[in-house]
Structure 1
């Protein structure tokens, strides 16, 4: 199976590939993250088929799902929408064609991550309850590009299981390997359509992931909920649920 090849094509990887402290590790092959499952070649389809996926969780808004429904028949599909896409586009649109607006674009995305914390609370609680049923595993979690909503969800699960910040950030930033191709293709198309009016760096500022975005989310969580566990407790996930989740997702190294 060539999962590594799918990172740059659809931002696909195992959420549990990062280390854990205290002599434990994630069980491999239970939780995967991805961009929208639309542009799959036959090799991708074969790889996903061989993973035995039982559940596909879609974090996109209902409007996004209707525009581009997923293309993986057979799996249990669960919609847990986080409706942040429209407001993000509305804020970014006037900045994309403005010169010297990189810092403003980055500030918009930073604010998006702060807002996403509360917007993702219900989807995250529902996601945890899905994972607590082993019959739903293995599972793919995805949004549109697999970087913001999915990146947040993956990081929160990793942190809840005790992962240290550095490997969590490193895994989050791997989405830029996928986005590099998307940005390059998008810049070429948009500059062609707009006769070169869009400054080159604006699309990159809007669509790449940055450590400070995820840090903003964690800082907000620390301030409002006193940490990741406090966030999940506020979402209705009990300490017993968290212990059960730990048993399901991790094992002695």
Structure 2
């Protein structure tokens, strides 16, 4: 068994294909390891963890997902989001639902129902949300289930929310930090959402400007990945816990052995 298949967590076996994968019907589907991001212990393994927006591929893209050997889909959305746009089944993959937000109001909810909200309000709420994932016990308790579902999967995992930006972006950032990626590289990867979602966001913006022009600027702001959203979260992890491992173990209550095994899967060259 090569390092890419450690504990049954390997991907397709062709890292070039994994790294170049595009799933046109899921605009924000991508490998958490990117092209094989470098860490102090070597490159991250591709084909292990994937991030996405809603898992609703076309028939052709469903075959691409099947070929990746996915074994688990971890859905981070609220029940009403799931009901409105349920995930498609992917052959060979089980489904785990973890409601990360619970009864807490997300930025989209707060701003979406406040007709007086401004773009600045949207940015402020999104900063608050991402920091809350670190500092608020209620969020940490729910996130534990998400990270445990990822760690306990028997093979490659895709985790996602609706847009693949905030809940998904935070989860990906923690995993990348655990692997040893720098804050700069994590930020650059986080901002790729704006590139991946450009056409999708443009279509929504046109819809907003036609239907609710007085609120369009604020609603469009909710679609953006801003640097401060993820850097606030990373800074909070550093300040509160000192490392991603300590955040997962001390903050979320995960078993140290599970976290160390997860890191070994992410970076096969780690000692």
| Range of TM-score over shorter length | 0.7 to 0.9
Give the distance between the partners of 2:139 and 2:195, measured in 1 at CA: 25
Give the distance between the partners of 2:126 and 2:264, measured in 1 at CA: 35
2:266 is the counterpart of 1:249: yes
Summarize the alignment of residues 17-96 of structure 1 with structure 2, pairs less than 5 Å apart.
17=34, 18-38=36-56, 40-74=57-91, 75-83=93-101, 86-93=105-112
Shift in CA distance, 197/130, structure 1 to aligned 2, threshold 3 Å:
closer
**Match among 233, 236, 239 for residue 256 of structure 2:** 239
Deviation at 1:80, TM superposition (A): 1.1
Whether the 8 Å CA contact 1:7–1:178 is kept in 2: the answer is: no
Whether the 8 Å CA contact 2:194–2:225 is kept in 1: the answer is: yes
Q: Deviations over 1:206-226 (max 9, x none)?
A: 210111001111222233333
2:200 is the counterpart of 1:182: yes
Summarize the alignment of residues 136-175 of structure 1 with structure 2, pairs less than 5 Å apart.
137-175=155-193
Task: Tell which deviates more after alignment, 165-174 or 111-120.
Answer: 111-120
Q: Deviations over 1:121-170 (max 9, x none)?
A: 234433343344452x1111011111110110010011011111111111
What is the count of residue pairs matched by the alignment?
A: 247
**Match among 10, 26, 32 for residue 15 of structure 1:** 32
Shift in CA distance, 12/185, structure 1 to aligned 2, threshold 3 Å:
same
Shift in CA distance, 25/120, structure 1 to aligned 2, threshold 3 Å:
farther
Task: Tell which deviates more after alignment, 4-13 or 183-192.
Answer: 4-13
Summarize the alignment of residues 78-117 of structure 1 with structure 2, pairs less than 5 Å apart.
78-83=96-101, 86-93=105-112, 101-117=118-134
**Match among 126, 129, 140 for residue 145 of structure 2:** 126
Whether the 8 Å CA contact 1:96–1:202 is kept in 2: the answer is: no
Shift in CA distance, 94/60, structure 1 to aligned 2, threshold 3 Å:
closer
2:14 counterpart residue number:
none
Q: Deviations over 1:18-55 (max 9, x none)?
A: 423224222211111100113x2233112111111111
Whether the 8 Å CA contact 1:36–1:70 is kept in 2: the answer is: yes
- TM (norm. structure 2) is 0.80
2:221 is the counterpart of 1:205: yes
Shift in CA distance, 110/159, structure 1 to aligned 2, threshold 3 Å:
same
- TM (norm. structure 1) is 0.86
Deviation at 1:56, TM superposition (A): 0.4
Task: Tell which deviates more after alignment, 166-175 or 107-116.
Answer: 107-116
Q: Deviations over 1:72-92 (max 9, x none)?
A: 244200011112684423421
Runs (4+) of structure 1 exceeding 6 A deviation are: none
Give the distance between the partners of 1:56 and 1:210, measured in 2 at CA: 26
SS in 1 for 2:96: strand
Shift in CA distance, 158/96, structure 1 to aligned 2, threshold 3 Å:
farther
